[in-house]
Amino acid sequence: MQSSVNVTSGKTGLLQHVQARKHSFWSDEPEVLGGTDSGPTPFELLLSSLGSCISITMMLYAQKKGWDIDTINVSLEHERIQTQKEIDGVSQTGYDDVITKRVEVAGMLDNAQRGKLLEIAGKCPIHRLLSTGVTIIDGA
């Protein structure tokens, strides 16, 4: 399945209008970064995509198995950590992006079922995409 969105900026500020199929929403930056804080930041949207995909993948797996799940809660935090790396014998400052994931499952599950669901969480399509990388092609 192919997915697509359209993002359009306005004339002022950093506010972005996002159109995804029949859904419309805003993305922005906090005021301290020059935005108006009228919507989630691009990083928050990325985390939302990952969290949604993890939860949906776990729910679909549990439904297929007939397991009783009340709720799944996925909490995600993104952090850019400054690092010192040596490249060709020269020390350079760089950054590593780290996402911390916490998953809580409420329902009538035994330890084996709970463990399997947590394993499945790491196999959602967005998790795999972020873990292995993606090719971005500049279109015409």
Complete DSSP assignment for the chain? -----EEEE-SSSS-EEEEETTEEEEE---GGGTS---S--HHHHHHHHHHHHHHHHHHHHHHHHT-EEEEEEEEEEEEEEEEEEEETTEEEEEEEEEEEEEEEEEEE--HHHHHHHHHHHTTSHHHHHHHH--------
What's the confidence (pLDDT) of residue 60? 97
pTM as predicted: 0.87
Whether residue 32 is found in the same domain as residue 45: no
What's the confidence (pLDDT) of residue 1? 74
Count of structural domains within the chain: 2
139 located within any domain: no
84 located within any domain: yes
Whether residue 27 is found in the same domain as residue 53: no
Q: Which domain holds residue 73?
A: 41-132
21 located within any domain: yes
Whether residue 1 is found in the same domain as residue 21: yes
What's the confidence (pLDDT) of residue 114? 95
Whether residue 46 is found in the same domain as residue 4: no
138 located within any domain: no
Whether residue 120 is found in the same domain as residue 82: yes
What's the confidence (pLDDT) of residue 133? 85
Question: What string of pLDDT tens digits covers the 140 residues of the chain?
Answer: 788 999 999 877 899 999 999 999 999 999 999 999 999 999 999 999 999 999 999 999 999 999 999 999 999 999 999 988 888 888 888 888 999 999 999 999 999 999 999 999 999 999 999 999 888 899 86
Whether residue 77 is found in the same domain as residue 104: yes
